[in-house]
Structure 1
């Protein structure tokens, strides 16, 4: 029987319980929990946050699954090199390397936001190979279709020719203002302070304008990444904060038009970060889907 943890890990606990591995000469922060003999669940975070986004789901999932997550290159507690050529393909390589390191042959995939696009690339790679590694996929609010993605002002400024300048001027007040706009259930002061700490760790502002290139990549690789959803051969579920101004109910409508009839959990009154805004509902949806496979 699933039992709810009374308190998720603080940021300090999250960091203390994590590890690092080398990826292309860079230190990448990752965490695991649960028994190695259990089915594997990989959690992929979004932009501009980090794996701590999954803290409410972490202990619950680890009761019945071996859970893995990581801070991608340029995010959270991982290295943030200014010389890296950041791309979705690079981040997918990172997770492939981590899964190989942990001797994981098959896994269930859960992703959010920027992580959804990484998940689409992983699905596209699976379609190119005979071996099935991904057993199921669940996607939270993300820009699955570039034509329905509605970037906020911060994203528009970052991808503009003034992006590098805006990166250096970005501060905690701007971050808090952005989250107030995209979240319908306000995050706590502790959560927002933690998100800012993770963002600014290792001078994250220096690479923000490089990471935002994923919006351009989504347009360039639309056929590949949307095609990965259309041809996906494994069970798929969408969990959506319906009132997200970036990728809310309008994205779900487009998903139904382009991909077809898949299970969709629509969370009313919830914005862009459902795993933080409605943690119990997201946990229940994730686990019910996995148990029903």
Structure 2
């Protein structure tokens, strides 16, 4: 575990696996943290240096009042952390809204990003079809674990037993950060959809999409096919979080992609 202080707050990160191995950077989604990747770690760290960053406002990173939670600023902070670690090249993986940060990082630092993998990242707001869940600060602490599971049910395939650890991460929501982040994500997608952004970058792209996603229309994964050379893999039987629902299947795709496109850590 490492904490790196930046001008607008300290970021927590974990890095596992051989330090001289190619780097796989994992970026979590909204209302989560780097802990959401833990089920994948034993499957990735034999051959990869895996770096997980808690974005500002999330997990064990700082939650400063008045900070910018714009997608571009989150990406800038991630780049600064990798620079501090001396990492020159990384295959970047984003889950859900973490894919927006991965995209912005690619736009800002094409020298750093060798390839991009998106896991259930909606390409544009028109593909979002989740039911709105009303979360209120006043009653949050009184909710039972099962009530929280119900609030986050559409983040997983139907019938999936949501782990207690993920419930605990969800309990850590800072409502100010959650609201600011949600607005920032929408603004980034409204400005330009992800497929158009990534098509301009020319980076290898893997899109994994659970076929039973209840937040983003699975059929929208086809919209990424405008990116030259993209590989789109639909995952039958999985929902919005394949990294938690089926770590072995998810890791198999990620490792094959990373092996094809990785550059040695620098």
C-alpha distance in 2, partners of 1:106/1:117?
19
Q: Secondary structure at the match of 1:47?
A: coil
> Are 1:146 and 1:218, in contact at CA under 8 Å, matched by a contact in 2?
no
Cα displacement (A) at 1:138: 0.8
Gaps of 5+ in 1: 1-17, 159-165
> Are 1:184 and 1:243, in contact at CA under 8 Å, matched by a contact in 2?
yes
Aligned to 2:68: 85
User: Is 1:175 matched with 2:145?
Assistant: no
Q: Secondary structure at the match of 2:152?
A: helix
- 255 and 227 in structure 1: CA distance in 2 versus 1, 3 angstrom threshold: closer
C-alpha distance in 2, partners of 1:215/1:110?
17
Aligned to 1:124: 107
> Are 1:185 and 1:269, in contact at CA under 8 Å, matched by a contact in 2?
no
Aligned to 2:9: 26
Aligned to 2:250: 282
User: Is 1:262 matched with 2:230?
Assistant: yes
- 254 and 205 in structure 1: CA distance in 2 versus 1, 3 angstrom threshold: same
Structure 2 counterpart of 1:252, from 212, 221, 230: 221
Gaps of 5+ in 2: 262-266
- 140 and 36 in structure 1: CA distance in 2 versus 1, 3 angstrom threshold: same
Cα displacement (A) at 1:197: 2.4
Q: Secondary structure at the match of 2:256?
A: helix
> Are 2:79 and 2:109, in contact at CA under 8 Å, matched by a contact in 1?
no
Cα displacement (A) at 1:260: 5.4
C-alpha distance in 2, partners of 1:212/1:167?
16
- 174 and 212 in structure 1: CA distance in 2 versus 1, 3 angstrom threshold: farther
Q: CA RMSD in A?
A: 2.2
User: Is 1:236 matched with 2:205?
Assistant: yes
Q: Secondary structure at the match of 2:233?
A: strand
